[in-house]
């Protein structure tokens, strides 16, 4: 079921700058369990290009979150993030997926069971017209994910890449990872 979400009622991280929140549309749409917005969340970020030597460590971290029941929020867009999502789906912990576009028209098969069990939320702050991921939408999505999270895990950010630039906007936040 598709829900309209009033962004003014969403709890953002205390250090989320008004600039980040201001840049988000006031309405969001969602599929799944809206109650997941109230649980403690770790944001997962990883650049599309990630050194091979880091990958196993990142997958081990995803398995640890899965085993601990930790809610993870991410766009799950980069290859490493996608694999982390597959690892997380093998557990029973909550997951929040924030696409950098409108909600998907069809729910992928592997997402259906977690959604039916109430452990998945798909949250989009983009209009129905935004059907393709762009770099700008991904930047805005990453800001949203960070603003919704209680802590942030940066698996890898390519120096001077778009993700690194976005993360520089978040001074003083709690980061975990390398």
pLDDT tens sequence across 81-91: 999 999 999 99
Radius of gyration over every alpha carbon of the chain, rounded to an integer in angstroms: 15
Find the mean pLDDT for residues 95-118.
94
DSSP string of 90-117, one letter each residue = TSSS-EEE--SSSPPSS--HHHHHHHHT
pLDDT tens sequence across 153-178: 888 788 888 887 777 776 555 455 54
Band of pLDDT at residue 9, cut at 50, 70 and 90:
very low
Fold of the domain spanning 2-176: Rossmann fold (3.40.50)
Residue 15 predicted with pLDDT over 70: no
Phi-psi category of residue 47: left, alpha or beta, with phi > 0 → left and psi -120 to 50 → alpha: beta
Cα 128 to Cα 25, 32, 54, 82: the distances in Å are 12, 17, 36, 23
**Whole-number pLDDT of residue 98:** 95
**Nearest Cα to Cα of residue 145 among 77, 44, 50:** 44
Helices assigned H by DSSP within the chain: 18-22, 52-68, 79-89, 109-116, 135-148, 162-168
Residue 152 predicted with pLDDT over 60: yes
Question: Which sequence spans correspond to the domains of the chain?
Answer: 2-176
Q: DSSP secondary-structure letter at 13?
A: P
DSSP string of 14-32, one letter each residue = TT--HHHHHTS-SEEEEEE
């Amino acid at each position: 079921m598709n829900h309209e979400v009033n962004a003014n009622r969403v709890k953002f991280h205390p250090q989320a700058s008004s600039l980040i929140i201001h840049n988000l549309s006031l309405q969001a749409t969602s599929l799944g369990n809206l109650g997941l917005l109230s649980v403690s969340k770790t944001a997962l970020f990883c650049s599309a290009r990630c050194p091979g030597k880091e990958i196993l460590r990142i997958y081990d971290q995803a398995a640890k979150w899965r085993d601990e029941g930790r809610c993870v929020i991410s766009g799950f867009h980069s290859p490493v993030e996608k694999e982390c999502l597959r690892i997380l789906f093998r557990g029973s912990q909550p997951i929040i997926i924030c696409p950098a576009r409108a909600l998907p028209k069809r729910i992928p098969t592997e997402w259906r069971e977690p959604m039916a069990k109430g452990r998945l939320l798909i949250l989009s702050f983009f209009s129905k017209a935004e059907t393709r991921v762009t770099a700008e939408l991904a930047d805005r999505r990453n800001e949203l994910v960070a603003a919704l999270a209680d802590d942030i895990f940066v698996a890898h950010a390519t120096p001077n890449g778009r993700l690194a630039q976005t993360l520089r906007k978040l001074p003083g936040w709690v980061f975990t990872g390398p």
